[in-house]
Amino acid sequence: MSAKTFDQLSERQKNILHFIDRYIHDNGFPPTIRDIVSATNITSTSVVNYNLNKLVEAGFIERETFSSRGLRLIKDIPGGYQTVKASSDVLMIPLIGQIVASEPVNVPDDFSTDPEDAIEIPPSMLGTMDLSEVYALRVKGDSMIDAMIQDGDVVILRRAETARNGEMVAVWLDERSETTLKRFYNENGRVRLQPAHPTMDPIYVDPRHCHIQGKVVSVMRIVH
């Protein structure tokens, strides 16, 4: 590994670092590669991935395997929002059930993390989010396969009752008695829940019957 100073980085790498820093400040968790592509006018995810690896080599960030938001700043940058702190060990997140078209997931008011029903995640995955607002669900099904979410994966969610267009959410559909994981779009007085699967159609529902239970902030693949 060849550590560098900020001034020794390319302009593109400096821009990526500043975006990561600003995104964590604004949202409380790190961006995905696609977020970086959209914000930095880079046309290819592979180019972003290459530069992120260079930033790892330069000693500015760490990347977590099998996490779509597994970025962590480990060195302060000029004009940055974040003051980098030493990494703590791990965080325990309650795994409260699975997201599947069945009974609604019960999201309790207060989480009590039993080690038997919890998963370990690095602190970098949550950024500045309040740990008491975060929980995990195991995915059953493949409706989000094109979003790199497979059957058996674990999604980390932040408790929420509203969402912006394009955000991935867990919702309870009271008329259908289903819980589902989809991308949320509010369109002309109705909600479109968009799967990420080439053969599956979107679900259209009345907003009154669509209850958001949480926003996805990261995805983990548990390797046994």
Catalytic residue ranges: 143, 182
Q: Which residues contact 138 (CB under 8 A, 6 or more apart)?
A: 95, 97, 98, 99, 152, 153, 154
Strands 168-173 and 210-220: antiparallel
Asked if 13 contacts 55 with a C-beta cutoff of 8 angstroms, the reply is yes
Rounded (10°) CA dihedral 204, 207, 210, 216: 90
Cα–Cα separations (whole angstroms), residue 82 to 24, 104, 127: 8, 38, 10
Strand ranges, E, within the chain: 61-63, 71-73, 91-99, 118-121, 134-139, 154-159, 168-173, 178-187, 190-194, 203-205, 210-220
Asked if 42 contacts 48 with a C-beta cutoff of 8 angstroms, the reply is yes
Q: Which residues contact 5 (CB under 8 A, 6 or more apart)?
A: none
